[in-house]
Amino acid sequence: MQTASVVPMPIPGHIDPVPVPRALVPRSDGRIDLLGLSKMDLRMALETSQLDPKQAKLRAKQLWHWIYNRGVTEFSKMTDISKTMQPWLEQRFVISRPDVVEAQVSTDGTRKWLLRSDDGQDYEMVFIPDADRGTLCVSSQVGCTLNCRFCHTGTMRLVRNLTPGEIVGQVMLARDALGEWPSQPDGRMLTNIVMMGMGEPLYNFDSVRDGLKIIMDGDGIALSKRRITLSTSGVVPMMARAGAEIGVNLAVSLHAVTKEVRDEIVPLNRKYGIEELLQACADYPGANNARRITFEYVMLKDKNDSDNDARELVRLLRHYDLPAKVNLIPFNPWPGAPYECSEPGRIKAFSKIIFESGISAPTRTPRGRDIDAACGQLKTASEKKSRAELDKLAEEKQAALG
């Protein structure tokens, strides 16, 4: 008796060669938000509102310039659009910004914003200024579906994915605050973007991809893909798509070199193990010595910081022939955290072993700790739970991972 062969399940998000406009969902006030729409969707929004196709094509080009090159949010300030057309646009559309619930500035100059969406959801973004660059840490989800044990954001429930407009809106708001309009390639304060805020970007792939494409578009913000880094905890099936469809730099939250430890602190490892993850890194499109993959490694006292851990990290990177840089991150404490930060001398010894093998391993200087803006500290103050609730949430998330 013959048995039917089982067809493997396709990776979510099958690539359709025919572009399909995104469904336009009105805001609570009935207007369509133009922020975050692709060029095609922007034109379709105008056509759907009964604008002649030829007219819609022209107006879409003008609107794109005003929104992403000039940073304008009011139709009345778009001087090349007729005064009779401006009220028509105002009635039907809006160019939004996230509502700012709270803005904080650290003693080291780091800025953190608590933002609120049109449907009342809170999320955070952080701007980190340095002498030679300014980096915006962008969120991709409200909450997080993972439960990395050292990460404060991981103690939150996943509420929902952010839309392309909400992802782009963080960049727009930061540029508003920094006075960086009109857009220009030189003299920017905001020079880099890292998708390292709240959430796992590859579990919100379509919105992250579509938002970053707008940010990289040469007719608007025009930030180079070499200036953008996407960080993942290791959603292996989506990594190749990220390289092919977005093409930005890759950072991987590794944090451990053994199955036992990584299973504990990054539970996603139970689904996609270290070897599978590192092979996906080796296959990542565009990775080379000029565009190295960054491996994030949080330093946890007596957990993952021994000399043997450092040597095993070197062995793994060499085994998979990875063009790699290791970022050592001193653990940033938060109330109820189950770990402590490694001692400075231990971090230095760990770094030395990796450096002596020929792999760069700088120690990241903690920024914004006094306003809970440092790596692993992002969590909206609106959500506070007891230790028992956090443990129950951890069990639920781990059960969901299988």
pLDDT digit string, tens, across residues 43-95: 999 999 999 999 999 999 999 999 999 999 999 999 999 999 999 999 999 99
Q: Which pLDDT belongs to residue 146?
A: 81
Task: Spell 370-386 as b/e; 16+ CB within 10 A means b.
Answer: ebbbbbbbbbbeeeeee
Whole-number pLDDT of residue 396: 55
- Neighbour count for residue 135 (Cβ, 10 Å): 20
Q: What is the 3-state secondary structure (H, E, C) of 207-276?
A: HHHHHHHHHHCCCCCCCCHHHEEEEECCCHHHHHHHHHHCCCEEEEECCCCCHHHHHHHCHHHHCCCHHH
pTM for this predicted structure: 0.86
- CA distances, 24 to each of 66, 140, 206 (Å): 21, 20, 15
- Binning pLDDT at 50, 70 and 90, where does residue 319 land? very high
Range 4-33 average pLDDT: 58
Whether cis (ω within 30° of 0) applies to the bond prior to 182 is: yes
Other beta carbons less than 10 A from residue 28's beta carbon: 8
| Tens digits of residue pLDDT in 137-168 | 999 999 887 877 778 765 678 889 999 999 99
Structure tokens at 201: 């970007």
pLDDT score of 337: 84
Beta strands 228-232 and 192-195, pairing class: parallel
Average pLDDT taken over every residue of the chain:
87
* Whether the predicted pLDDT of 6 surpasses 50: no
Residues 218-239: what's their mean pLDDT?
96
Per the structure block, which two tokens stand in for 156? 């939150």
Q: What pLDDT, on the 0 to 100 scale, is given for residue 300? A: 96
**Chain centroid to CA 113: how far?**
15
Long-range pairs, 75-84, Cβ under 8 A, ≥24: none
- Catalytic pick from 137, 375, 395, 396? 375
The identity of residue 184, as a single letter, is Q
The region of weakest confidence among 101-110, 243-252, 356-365, 373-382 is: 373-382
Active site residue 148: no
Chain segment 160-207, per-residue pLDDT in tens:
999 999 999 999 999 999 999 998 878 899 999 999 999 999 999 999
Tracing tokens 């809970």 back to the chain, one arrives at 372
Each residue's pLDDT tens digit, 87-119: 999 999 999 999 999 999 989 899 999 999 988
Q: Which residues are bridge partners to 341 per DSSP?
A: 300
Query: In angstroms, rounded to a whole number, what is the distance separating the alpha carbons of residues 268 and 262?
Result: 9
Cα dihedral angle (198, 200, 205, 211), rounded to 10 degrees? 20
8, pLDDT greater than 80: no
343 catalytically annotated: no
The single residue of 124, 180, 264, 296 carrying the catalytic annotation is 124
Beta partners for residue 152, in sequence order = none
The arithmetic mean of pLDDT across residues 221-232, rounded, is 96
